Structure 1
Amino acid sequence: MFAALIAVNGPLLITFFVMTKNSVEREMIAKKRVLLDANSKALSKALWDFDYDNLRKWATAIANDRDIFSIEILDDNDKSLALISKENSETNALNRENALFSKEITHVVDGVEHNVGTLRIRFMSSHISNAAVREVVKSAILFVVSTISVLVAALIANRFMITRPLLRLNAAIEATQRSGTRRKVDWESSDELGRVTSAFNEMQDRLDQDEAQLIRANRRLTFLYNNTPVMLYSIDSDDNIRNVSDYWLHATGYSRKDVIGRKFREFIHDDFKDEYLKNRSMLSDGKNETLELTSVFQKADGTCLDVLITETKDFDDSAHGGSSLSVMTDISKLKAAEAEILRQARTDYLTGLVNREGFADRLNAAIESSDGSDDIAVLFFDLDRFKWVNDNLGHFAGDRVLQSVTREIAQLLGEDDCFGRFGGDEFAIMLSCKSSKKRAVELATKINRTLNRPIDLGGRTLQISASVGISFYPDNAKSAEELLKASDVAMYRQKNSGRNGFCVFNEQFGKEASQQLEVKEVISEALANDWFQLHFQPIVNLETRTTIGFEGLLRLVHPERGVLPPLEYIRAAEQTGGILEIGDLVLEMGLDALERLQQSRDCQSAYVALNFSAAQFLPDLPSNLREKLTAHRVDPGRLVLEITETTLMQNSMGLDGLIEDIRKLGCTFALDDFGTGFSSLSYMHRFPVDTVKIDRSFIKGLDERSGIERTHKTAALIEAVVGLSQKLKLNVIAEGIETEAQYTRLVDLGVKTGQGFLFGKAEPLDTYLSESHTGRTETARLPNETLRNVG
């Protein structure tokens, strides 16, 4: 501190000394000049009066000043009048350093200043300098004494006010470092150090609180790390296990010493190690931010655990190699649940068989694993007339039938065969073996034989049958989808050929299916572009040969292919659901025609007959028909709806109620193609129809070219139908009359009404409304009751 004080105050003290000395010297010299000026004025009178005695006495008195070396008085001619000098060795030695001051002596007489002489005083410079030094030394001593006093006081104050609290603060810091516990400083004051020690003590309190919180948080974190029901662990960049949680050890069965330091990959199942290492490499290279994969972990007891591994990038680089936080989640139950959900998603709930998706997967797998040595056969079948079971016996009975079929067919299959239900009454079987073609035919035969046996439904016996389609891989298809489609096509071919049997797919079926698809596309275009037209064939009174009505027959007039045969597109429309839109269009065109006939002078009483498909008999048909009849403002009694026995058979449930509701509107029904079905008489009795139309196949049997025996049988059948219809008060219409011989024979048999090429082919309505056909289309005026019987 003294060195610092000297270093700081030394230059200041020297500067002060020099400046003070110079100042004192200047002040003393100024005083000497004042003395010179005063003495020069005092000597002016003596010089003016030539009083030399007083002049020398005054000079002697002036020379008594210790700082004056010599004094000399000159007259106005510079003649020395008095000279007093202090000559000795010391003064002589310092003579060269003396300072000479000269002053002219003037005397004023009558306001005029007269120069009377000169006063020369030589001062000793050393005396002046020494006097200045003495003055400065006094000030310096006073400055030094005061500075030392202040320093001593500051040291004493520093000792008590700064050093002591700082020593205590330092002691508290050292004690904290040694013991690890927070020590406070025992010092209170209102100065800066007091505030510092107070802040230090507050900091110690906060550090104590923060440390306590950190300890609690660390304990909490450790507890959570070890007890969270998720397997937590840490590994370094070399895949070495750095730490594991207690739950990880509990779940895997290992002890901590058995796993710390070992490679994590050692615990991964061999089948999954490559995938794990690949993902770890991508994480280390920075290609992925996180690692997430499912794998199989080997537990301590040798069992395996399905796990989901999630690992972050290294987050702790404080230790060599870094460390990452990883999570291993047991997903064994999730895998099992997923497998169960997948099984249920691919299993039919009613029969326990695989569903369409599950069957397709098995079929795809068989095709992919096929090496060409084995053939794959698919048998696709559905139950004939199963809809009748649901409609008449209820869905519960239908379910029992399906379960019974499943049990019976399953007994015919081997362990490697795949048996599935596609929904409804559709089933499929896959065979994969070297003799699959032969075995498929044998199995189809067994299925037909088995399903022909009666089924007991709790006191009620039911007999069903099946139509089976068979296709082979790779002969008929190259993929599972194509193979199923081929067997489906073969099954429908069998169903259309009489049911209750099997059919093997061939290439011709595929061509026909393609043609059917093409027809479906044509139907869509026809509906969009108004290619459908309704042509009308006259229905005549055979006794008078006059037209009493028209049957509307649908025609598809293609702009390039011309008129397409109805059978070519009607069946496709029924399969795709387009028949509903077509049927609605036919009804609209038929009512338009009926409205035109009603406005015609010659055809006001003619009726229109329209063919209805089974698909059109929906619950809203009566209300829909009522709206259209009202919109066209036509007599409902002049609209006849023709339905076939097939329609009655396919849609028998609730159909009689729909027919009755429509008849209440005033419309009538005709049973078309009568005699070609399985139970024509029962349908004629069960359903409230008004007219039966004898099929054209019977009319052809009346030709002599058919043979006498057949002609007699046909005539007897027609006569029986006429007689029965008369008993039931039904009208009879003969279809397909083409020759005069047929016409004459039908009249003889009592048939009142007929239609056919003999009376006119189906043509646009304008053809029959033209003047050239007026006589031909003259309509009999019949009362409403008669019209209903004729309708």
Structure 2
Amino acid sequence: MLRLIKTSTQRKFLAIMFAALIAVNGPLLITFFIITKDTLEGEMLAKKRVFLEANSKALSKVLWDFDYENLRKWAGAIANDRDIFSIEILDDKGKSLTHVTNSENLHTMPGTEEALFSKEITHSVDGTDHLVGTLRIRFMSDHISNAAIREVGKSAILFIVSTISVLVAALIANRFMISRPLTRLNAAIETTHRTGTRKKVDWTSSDELGRVTNAFNEMQDSLDQDEAQLIKANKRLAFLYNNTPVMLYSIDSKDRIIKVSDYWLHATGYSRKQVIGRRFSEFIHEDFKDGYLTNRGMLSVGKNETLEVTSVFQKADGTRLDVLITETKDFDDSSAGRRSLSVMTDISKLKAAEAKILRQARTDFLTGLLNREGFADRLNAAIENSDGEADIAVLFFDLDRFKWVNDNLGHFAGDRVLQSVTREVAQLLDEGDSFGRFGGDEFAIMLSCESTKKRAVDLATKINRTLNRPIDLGGRTLQISASVGISFYPENAKSAEELLKASDVAMYRQKNSGRNGFCVFNEQFGKEAAQQLEVKEIISEALKNDWFELHFQPIVNLKSGTPVGFEGLLRLVHPERGVLPPLEYIRAAEQTGGILEIGDLVLELGLQALDRLQSEDQWRSSYVALNFSAAQFLPDLPTKLAGKLSAHSIRPGQLVLEITETTLMQNSMGLDGLIEDIRQLGCAFALDDFGTGFSSLSYMNRFPVDIVKIDRSFIDGLDAGNGNERSLKNAALIEAIVGLARKLDLSVIAEGIESQRQRKCLVDLGVETGQGFLFGKAAPLDVLLSRESSANAATAPTLDVAFKNTGFG
């Protein structure tokens, strides 16, 4: 092949050279030949004319003297020239005197007429030229032409020799400077192609071929490096393919296994001979084979389509392996056949973890019972299986005053109580019952059996009895109770959600009825719950649309009847239903957490009212009392109060916070510290509804309050008449409260004063301030102030007068 290539290259070069010589030197040579020949012929003819001229001059004397003998000798001598054919001499009359022919040229005729040269012969005598004759010489024209050709031929031979020399030199140069490096380059290429080894070209020069060979050698080095890296990469790839802890394999379009990794064999327990060529579906467990084939059959025929399916693989030892199969198909038309790159991932641990997470997601971490989601699923399944025929009961209960346990004994003690309750109640259940904890101290039980209603009531009774037994908390004995609500399917609900809601409503009904017992749901409970939901929605709308207003009731000096302050009372003014009673929405707000937003609104409206009072001299020293819920006593309350008072430029002594004994009972943890922090700001505290609780005296001693407000139940009987037993008892109690307040340096306000007789009795008992319908009903502040101004009320006394020397104001 290389010889042919070499020969072909040389032939091409030779053909190019010949073509170039013929195309360039050929016309030059012809032109040179013609011009040179014509030039030489012209020169020869010019010489002949000179010869003719010279001889005609030489013959002029001979002809003048009529020396015809010498004339013939002269003519014979001239005729010996090889180029002359004949010589003829004529006299002045044109008569031939002599005619001599060259004997050597007798057999040859002149070529053309142009070979005849004629010259008149003149003789000068005394300066006058006399015609004496004519000389005619016939030359051999072919001799002239041949002589010119011979001369030109010598030059042409030299030209041809030089051209051939150039051609030979070019061929030699081509062989050594072009053909040889090309031959070596071809040899290196052929060796590389035949043996696969990288052979370099041994050639060094600074010309283009040198640069080509250098580039070729550099390419060979680069290919060597690339090949080494490729071999290394392939080894690395093979190592990774076989040792990566992922089961890699490939199958063809007919589901036959064509390649597996070493890790695949290690994980499955098979040998390579046992699997190569077999269908992959043969290793799928029978219960999952149809699903695998169905999913694989749905794989589209597009390029690089993937398939992901979970299945169960049968290992060599017969055990099952949960796997995730991911398959990517290769439909490269240039490949010998279609195959896949597939990954089989062991998800057994993931499946176990998923089951564990699912179990944990449906299980309460503290007690191990079902959580709300798990219990709801169990309840839904029971309802679906009942076909609406079998009775299902749900008992929903929570622990009474469990919050007190967490607040006073800590959450660790609370957790132990919950675990104890779980153990005790679980002993009362049968195997088919479901027991769950919904968070906090809320529990639920599902019963589905014969005589469900009777068993539900019996179980509720047993739960109350069991939980009434003391609980030992490591040296400390605690007694708790539970409120239980019961609902039935399908009597009380049509779904699991409704059934749980019904039992929850029944449980709260029992809690509001005295706790420590059970209550069975009825339709009336549902209506009341619906009403409560409606109230919650009204509260939300009221907060959004500013339906809440603050009305004020004056607190007056009982002797003078002049107002010393105003109690702010919240009113919800519905655009359609008018003013709603506070009891309808306050309790709902406390249950939903909306009381916090309502409390913030009450505080803002109260401070706006104080700002209004400060703008008029008559009311500048008046104070405003606001009712605070237990839920509002959060750790940030003192900071919030300080910020709002500063924003409105209100003196803290003009704000009184009213709290009830219920508030103190529900939120005793840290409440005394909060009250003290607020009093440090300068605000005062009033203990509202005093005398109606179970431990009023202890709260007066424990919490730093400034004012005691006597409940209206003590005021009602004061006007019953002299000697009336109730009137005497109420008067004695009021007198005792007043005396106690004075001892504790507290101010006293009487609530619910509706008659002048009650007012007079209170003044006689030492009560200095009070409020009630006698002095006016609650009204918007502008209305109230307008009414007082029209009555020409006197300027309100200072807080120091109203509250004596209590120190706030």
TM-score, structure 1 normalization: 0.79
One-letter identity of the residue aligned with 2:262: D
Q: 90, 93, 102: which is aligned to 2:117?
A: 102
- Find the aligned partners of 2:127 and 2:353 in 1 and give their Cα distance: 141
How do 1:417-456 residues align onto structure 2 when only pairs under 5 Å count? 417-430=433-446, 443-456=459-472
- Find the aligned partners of 1:168 and 1:605 in 2 and give their Cα distance: 118
Secondary structure of residue in 2 paired with 1:349? coil
Match of 1:68 in 2: 84
Q: 508, 516, 519: which is aligned to 1:502?
A: 519
- Find the aligned partners of 1:6 and 1:754 in 2 and give their Cα distance: 136
Match of 2:672 in 1: 656
Kindly indicate whether the alpha-carbon contact (under 8 Å) linking 1:691 and 1:789 is maintained by their aligned counterparts in 2. no
Match of 1:392 in 2: 408
- Find the aligned partners of 2:211 and 2:620 in 1 and give their Cα distance: 121
Change (3 A) 1:116 1:471: farther
> What's the CA shift for 1:249?
1.4
Q: 557, 561, 572: which is aligned to 2:573?
A: 557
> What's the CA shift for 1:650?
0.8
Match of 1:33 in 2: 45
> What's the CA shift for 1:348?
3.6
Q: 408, 420, 437: which is aligned to 2:424?
A: 408
Change (3 A) 1:18 1:614: closer
One-letter identity of the residue aligned with 2:56: S
> What's the CA shift for 1:642?
3.3
TM-score, structure 2 normalization: 0.77
Q: 572, 587, 592: which is aligned to 1:571?
A: 587
Match of 1:580 in 2: 596
Secondary structure of residue in 2 paired with 1:522? helix
One-letter identity of the residue aligned with 1:770: E
One-letter identity of the residue aligned with 1:34: A
Q: How large is the Cα RMSD of the aligned pairs? A: 5.3
> What's the CA shift for 1:399?
1.7
Change (3 A) 1:607 1:186: closer
Greater Cα offset, 253-262 or 481-490: 481-490
Q: Specify every segment of 5 or more residues in structure 2 that has no aligned partner in the other structure, as ranges.
A: 1-6
> What's the CA shift for 1:37?
0.6
Q: C-alpha deviations, 1:234-260, integer Å up to 9, x for none?
A: 334444433222112112222222222
1:302 aligns with 2:314: no
How do 1:136-155 residues align onto structure 2 when only pairs under 5 Å count? none
Kindly indicate whether the alpha-carbon contact (under 8 Å) linking 1:676 and 1:695 is maintained by their aligned counterparts in 2. yes
- Find the aligned partners of 1:370 and 1:129 in 2 and give their Cα distance: 139
> What's the CA shift for 1:424?
2.5
Change (3 A) 1:65 1:231: farther
Match of 1:770 in 2: 788
Secondary structure of residue in 2 paired with 1:327? strand
Secondary structure of residue in 2 paired with 1:84? strand
> What's the CA shift for 1:115?
6.6
> What's the CA shift for 1:508?
0.9
Secondary structure of residue in 1 paired with 2:81? coil
Change (3 A) 1:690 1:724: farther
Match of 1:513 in 2: 532
One-letter identity of the residue aligned with 1:38: V
Secondary structure of residue in 2 paired with 1:536? strand
- Find the aligned partners of 1:189 and 1:690 in 2 and give their Cα distance: 113
> What's the CA shift for 1:723?
6.0
One-letter identity of the residue aligned with 1:421: R
- Find the aligned partners of 1:227 and 1:136 in 2 and give their Cα distance: 90
Match of 1:644 in 2: 660
How do 1:113-512 residues align onto structure 2 when only pairs under 5 Å count? 118-128=134-144, 181=197, 210-268=226-284, 271=288, 274=291, 278=295, 281-282=298-299, 284-286=301-303, 290-292=306-308, 294-314=310-330, 318-341=334-357, 343-344=359-360, 346-359=362-375, 372=388, 378-414=394-430, 417-430=433-446, 443-470=459-486, 484-500=500-516, 501-504=518-521, 506=523, 507-512=526-531
Change (3 A) 1:517 1:133: same
> What's the CA shift for 1:532?
1.0
Secondary structure of residue in 2 paired with 1:321? coil
Q: 737, 748, 753: which is aligned to 1:725?
A: 737
Change (3 A) 1:175 1:750: closer
Kindly indicate whether the alpha-carbon contact (under 8 Å) linking 1:469 and 1:504 is maintained by their aligned counterparts in 2. yes
Change (3 A) 1:183 1:748: closer
Match of 2:541 in 1: 522
> What's the CA shift for 1:496?
2.7
Kindly indicate whether the alpha-carbon contact (under 8 Å) linking 1:380 and 1:426 is maintained by their aligned counterparts in 2. yes
Match of 2:552 in 1: 535
> What's the CA shift for 1:290?
4.7
> What's the CA shift for 1:230?
2.5
One-letter identity of the residue aligned with 1:532: E
> What's the CA shift for 1:646?
1.7
Kindly indicate whether the alpha-carbon contact (under 8 Å) linking 2:718 and 2:731 is maintained by their aligned counterparts in 1. no
- Find the aligned partners of 2:761 and 2:380 in 1 and give their Cα distance: 63
Kindly indicate whether the alpha-carbon contact (under 8 Å) linking 2:299 and 2:306 is maintained by their aligned counterparts in 1. no
- Aligned length, in residue pairs: 780
> What's the CA shift for 1:320?
1.6
Kindly indicate whether the alpha-carbon contact (under 8 Å) linking 2:90 and 2:133 is maintained by their aligned counterparts in 1. yes
- Find the aligned partners of 1:136 and 1:122 in 2 and give their Cα distance: 24
One-letter identity of the residue aligned with 2:45: R
Change (3 A) 1:6 1:532: closer
Change (3 A) 1:213 1:629: closer
Q: 44, 50, 53: which is aligned to 2:56?
A: 44
Q: C-alpha deviations, 1:156-194, integer Å up to 9, x for none?
A: 999999988888877776666665556677889999999
> What's the CA shift for 1:741?
8.3
Change (3 A) 1:608 1:53: same
Q: C-alpha deviations, 1:713-742, integer Å up to 9, x for none?
A: x55763663465356346776644556887
Secondary structure of residue in 2 paired with 1:66? coil
Q: C-alpha deviations, 1:510-539, integer Å up to 9, x for none?
A: 42133122222233135xx37412220556
